[in-house]
Structure 1
Amino acid sequence: MIEYLRRQLAGTLRPDDRTHVRYPTAISELLGFTITAVGPGQAVVELDADAAVHGNQQGTVHGGLLVELADAAIGTAQSTVLEPGESFTSIDLKATFLRPVWNERLTATAYATHAGRTVSHYLCEITRGDGKPVATVTSAVMTLRGDKADGR
C-alpha cells in the first residue's frame, strides 16, 4: 500500500496499478484534500481552507472539516501499514480545537503513537500556513482481517 501511495505522489502510477483500498477517497476528492507525504504509519494531508466555502455560523472554518481532514490523514497513515486483504476502522476520535481558521493552507500531519497488531493509536496535528497549531486530533484504529475486512 505504501508503495502505491508513493507512486501516486510521484505521479508514476501505471494504468494497471491497483490497490484493495480506495485512493483517492471520494470524500477527500469532494473536499479537495491532497496527500503530500507518506511513510510507515505516517501521512501528511493538506487543504486550502476557505471560510466562504467551508464555514460555520460564526464565519470561521467548520470544526467538522478539521476533524475530517485529520481523519483523512490518520486513515492514510494507517493505510501505509496494511497488508493485502486488510482493512481498518476508527474506533474513537477526539478533537481539541486551538484557534479559529478563516482562509489558510492547512497541513494535517498524522503519525502512530502506538502501532499494535490490532489496535493502533494516532496523533494528528493540524497547522496553518504560519506553522501555528489549529487543532490536535487523536484516534484509535482497529485493523480488520479476513472476513471482517471483506467489503470495507
Structure 2
Amino acid sequence: MFNAPLRLPILDHLQRMLDGRPVDPATIHLRYPTAISQLLGFRLVAVSEAMAAIELEADPDHHGNQQGTVHGGLLCELADATIGTAHSTLMQPGESFTSIDLDATFLRPVWRARLRAHAWAEHRGRTISHYRCDIQRDDGKVVARIASKVMTLRGEHAQGR
C-alpha cells in the first residue's frame, strides 16, 4: 500500500510568505514571523524541509558590543532563529519544539555586513534532531559555526508552547 507523504503545513506557510503569496496565520499553530525576528530585522530568504536561511543587515550602531563589532549574542540569536525555522518546517499540528543546547564557534569579527545564516538538519530523529548553522558575511567568509540539538514536543508537553 502506498503511503502519501505527510503534509507540512508550516513549510507550506513559510514558502507562501517567501514567495509573497497571501498567508492566513490561522492555518498554522506557530507564530511567523516571530516577534524577536521582527525586532532584530531578520528576513527569511530560503526554506525547505529541515532547512532555512535568514539574512540580517548587521550594524554595530544597533548590534554592537563594547569593542565596536557585532555582538556574539546576536549571532547566536540569528543561528537559533534559523535553526528553529528549519525545524519548524517538520512540525505537525499538536507538535512544538525547544532548543536543548547551542554551541557557537566564532571565527572572525563582524562590523557592518549583510549576514546570511544557513541551517540544516544533520540528523533528524523522532524526538532529538541535530542541526548545523553557518553564518557568512556578504564577502562569503564564514563568521560563525553553530551546532544545536532540538527536541520535538508532542501531546501535553507541546501544549502552550
The verdict on a shared fold, with TM-score over 0.5 as the criterion, is yes
Residues 25, 31 of structure 2: 8 Å contact kept: no
Question: Where does 1:1-152 land on structure 2 (aligned, <5 Å)?
Answer: 1-15=10-24, 18-152=27-161
CA distance in 1, matches of 2:77, 2:93: 25
- 3-state SS in 1 of match to 2:81: helix
- 3-state SS in 2 of match to 1:91: strand
CA distance in 1, matches of 2:146, 2:36: 18
* CA displacement 1:123-144 (0-9 Å, x = unmatched): 0000000110000010000000
Alignment size in residue pairs: 152
Q: Which runs of 5+ in 2 are unaligned?
A: 1-9
Residues 86, 119 of structure 2: 8 Å contact kept: yes
TM-score calculated relative to the size of structure 2: 0.92
Cα offset for 1:17? Answer: 5.1
Cα offset for 1:79? Answer: 0.4
Q: From the CA coordinates, give the structure whose radius of gyration is larger.
A: 2
- Structure 1 runs of 4+ aligned residues shifted over 3 Å read 14-17
CA distance in 2, matches of 1:95, 1:102: 18
Percentage of matched positions with identical amino acids: 62
Q: Which runs of 5+ in 1 are unaligned?
A: none
* CA displacement 1:82-115 (0-9 Å, x = unmatched): 1111100001110000000000000000000000
